[in-house]
């Protein structure tokens, strides 16, 4: 520390920060390209895109997590579509999810409560389309116990 001059410390700071930011930006660019490539096999329809807006407008992430991110007041929903058997019987999964939405809030004592959002049929359909799309993402095998989350 004694031999390091302030000017040298400053130059290391600026040089190093620029270097690491360039490396970071290059890696993010590569990840961006891979994420866009995925859209070819899992296209983002107008319904999926609008479903994401519904997810945002109702601030679902302020209770739920999506791929583990968001609030921890309610279950993870990244792969909820698969839990409802959407990969084998999509129509039944959509119906089951719709009736689940309609049943909120449950009012059961001790259980975290979800509001009744009174979503229109179109919004509900698109939100479920969004949840279907999120279930198709490669999350590197997370979560460890898919049945629980």
Partner 1 sequence: MKYQSQRVALPYFVGALTIFTLQLVFGLIGAAMYVDPLLISPNILPFSVVRMIHTNALIVWLLLGFFGSTFYLLPEETERELHSPRLALVQFWVFFAAAAFTVVGYLFGNYGGRSYLEQPMVVKVGIVLVALMFLYNCSVTALRGRRTVITGILLLGLWGIAVFFLFAFYDPANVVIDKMFWWWVVHLWVEGVWELVMASILAFLLIKLTGVDREVVEKWLYVIIGTALFSGILGTGHHYYWIGAPAYWQWIGTIFSAVEPLPFFAMVIFAFAMVWKGRRTHPNGAALLWSLGCAVTAFFGAGLLGFLHTLAPINYYTHGTQLTAAHGHLSFYGAYAMVNLAMFTYAMPPLLGRAPYRQRLNIVSFWILTGGVALMSAALMFAGLLQTHLERVLGQPYMDVQPQLTLFYWIRLIGGVITASGLVLYLVAILVPGRRKVPVASGLVPAE
For the segment 4-33, give every residue that binds partner 1 (CB under 8 A). Answer: 4-6, 9-10, 12-13, 16-17, 20-21, 23-24, 27-28, 30-32
Task: Select from 73, 142, 148, 78 the least CA-distant residue to 114.
Answer: 73
115 binds partner 1 (CB under 8 A): yes
Residue 120 near residue 127 (C-beta atoms within 8 A): no
Q: Can you tell me which of 26, 72, 103, 122 binds partner 1, judged by CB under 8 A?
A: 72
Number of residues this chain uses to bind partner 1 (CB under 8 A): 73
Q: What are phi and psi of 71, to 5 degrees?
A: -95, 165
Shortest reach from residue 14's CB to partner 1, in Å: 9
Binding mask 89-108 for partner 1 (x = CB under 8 A): ---------------xx-x-
Strand partners for 70: 65
Count other C-beta atoms under 10 Å from residue 103's C-beta: 10
């Amino acid at each position: 520390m004694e031999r390091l001059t302030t000017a040298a410390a400053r130059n290391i700071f600026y040089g190093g920060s620029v270097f690491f930011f360039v490396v970071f930006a290059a890696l993010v660019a590569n990840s961006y390209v891979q994420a866009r490539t995925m859209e070819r096999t899992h296209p983002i329809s107008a319904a999926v895109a609008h479903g994401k807006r519904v997810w945002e407008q109702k601030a679902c992430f302020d209770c739920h997590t999506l791929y583990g991110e968001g609030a921890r007041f309610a279950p993870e929903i990244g792969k909820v579509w698969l839990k409802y058997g959407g990969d084998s019987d999509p129509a039944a999964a959509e119906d089951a999810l719709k009736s689940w939405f309609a049943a909120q809030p449950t009012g059961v004592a001790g259980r975290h409560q979800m509001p009744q959002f009174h979503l229109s049929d179109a919004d509900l359909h698109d939100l479920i389309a969004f949840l279907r799309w999120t279930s198709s993402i490669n999350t590197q095998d997370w979560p460890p116990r898919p049945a629980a989350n």
